[in-house]
Structure 1
C-alpha cells in the first residue's frame, strides 16, 4: 500500500476542539486538528491510551490534552466540555466519534437480537451522542462560528439484513445532526455527519483476516486501498474550518463510493 501523507494547512489555528472518542479514527482526528493548529481535548474511556496520543501530539509540537470520557454519562460529557473551556478559553468544535459494537453478530435480526444488546447500542450510539451534543451546545453557541461533526455510518441508509440496532442508532444520529443544523444555523453553528466506510487502522490491520479485508475491498468502488483515519480527519478538519463555513445539514460519505447520494 503506497504512503499517504496528507497536505496540512493551518486552518484551525487557535481553535479549541473536543474529540469525543479515541481509537483509530479518533486518534486520527486529534492528530489532524492539532497539526492544523487547534488545541485538542481527546476524550475516551481508555484515558491512558488517550493520554498517550495527546503526549505524542505535544512531543511533535501540537497542543493536546486527554480526559476520561464516557459519552453516555451526562456528567462525564459535561466535565470534558468544561475542561476544554477552562484550559483553552472556550469551544469551537466537537467531533463525536465513539461507538458500541455489541450488535455485530450476523445471526441476529430484529427477532434474535437480545434486548440487552439493543439497549446498550441505543445507550452509547444514540443517547451518548445526544448527551454530548447537549453538553457542548452552550459553549459552541457562545462562539460566532462553530462546528459539530458526528460520525455516522452507511448502515444508517443502506438497508442491511444485519446490525439492526446499530443502523437505527446511526439513523437517529443523522436526524439529530439535521435538527441541530436547522435550529442553530442562524447562531453560527454548523452541524454535519461524516459516514466512513471500512477504515483500516493499526489495530484492525492486526486483527482482521485476509478474507475480511477482501470483503471490505469488495464493498467500495475504489479498489486501490481501504479508507484510513486520515481520510476521515481531512474531511472533519474542512468542516471545522472557515473553508467549510457554508456546509451544514449534510451527511458526507468518506467511504470509497459504498453509498452514492444526491
Structure 2
C-alpha cells in the first residue's frame, strides 16, 4: 500500500454534522483534502454554505445541508440529500452536540435530561439506522462519533453531558460488535478542551487556563486542526482494523494523575 492510498478517501461520501465551524469543519476540510465528497451540516444555512464554499475554494467537493439533529425528519433529509447528490454515504461523523446545562445530577430536570439524550445520543442512533445498512451492503463504512473525555471521567458539574458521551461510547462498541465483519467500523473520538466556540468560556477564563495548564501534560488547549488527522485516519482504509474504540485527543489529560 502506497503512502497516498493509506488515507485515500477518493470516491467516498462523508456526512459531518456540526461542520460549519470548529472540530467539525476542520475534520470536513481534512477529509476533503484526501478526496472525500463532504456534506457540511449545521443549524444555520448561511454558515453551512460559507463552510462548503471554503472547501470548494480549496479544490474540494462539498454541499451544504442545514439540519437540526434533534429532529428526525431533518436528519433523514440530511442523509437523503447526500444520497441524491452522490449516490450513497460511506462515512458519518456525528460531531454536533449540545451542552445546555451544568449542575449537580440532584438538580437535573427531566426535560433537560431528555433534551441532552435526544440531541447527543438519539441523533447518532438515527444516523446509524439511516446509513449503516447501505455501508454493510457495499462492504465499506465508517461511523465516527465525537464524544468527550468527560464521558471517561466523573464530574460533579458536567456529569450529564458526560453521561450522554459515555452512551455514545457504548453505541460504537455495539455497532462494532454487530458490523465489524461487514467492513464497517464504529469509533469515538473523545476530545479534551479545544479552542472552539463551544468551549470559549473555558479558554477565555484566566482561572480555567491556569488550572488546565497545571492539570494537562501538554499545558495547553487543543487546536481544531489537531482533530482532523485522527478523523481522516478513522475514515480511511488505514482505520479498517480499529473498531469499537474511544480515542482521546486530549493532550494527555486522561492519563495524568496530577
With structure 2 as the length reference, what TM-score do the two structures score?
0.90
Partner SS, residue 115 of structure 2: helix
| 2:74 corresponds to | 76
CA distance in 2, matches of 1:144, 1:258: 36
Q: Which shifted more, 22-31 or 139-148?
A: 139-148
| 2:11 corresponds to | 14
**How many pairs are equivalent?**
250
Q: Which shifted more, 207-216 or 144-153?
A: 207-216
Q: Which runs of 5+ in 2 are unaligned?
A: none
Partner SS, residue 107 of structure 2: coil
Q: Which runs of 5+ in 1 are unaligned?
A: 1-6
How far off its partner does 1:253 sit?
0.6
2:58 corresponds to which of 57, 60, 70: 60
CA distance in 2, matches of 1:240, 1:217: 31
CA distance in 1, matches of 2:200, 2:118: 28
How far off its partner does 1:205 sit?
6.0
2:115 corresponds to which of 101, 112, 120: 120
What CA RMSD, in Å, does the superposition of the two structures yield over aligned residues?
Answer: 2.1
How far off its partner does 1:91 sit?
1.2
| 1:4 corresponds to | none
8 Å CA contact retained: 1:191, 1:249: yes
User: Structure 1 stretches (4+) deviating beyond 6 angstroms?
Assistant: none
How far off its partner does 1:202 sit?
6.6
How far off its partner does 1:13 sit?
1.6
CA distance in 1, matches of 2:243, 2:96: 21
1:208 corresponds to which of 193, 204, 211: 204
8 Å CA contact retained: 1:194, 1:253: yes
| 1:138 corresponds to | 133
How far off its partner does 1:217 sit?
2.9
2:25 corresponds to which of 24, 27, 32: 27
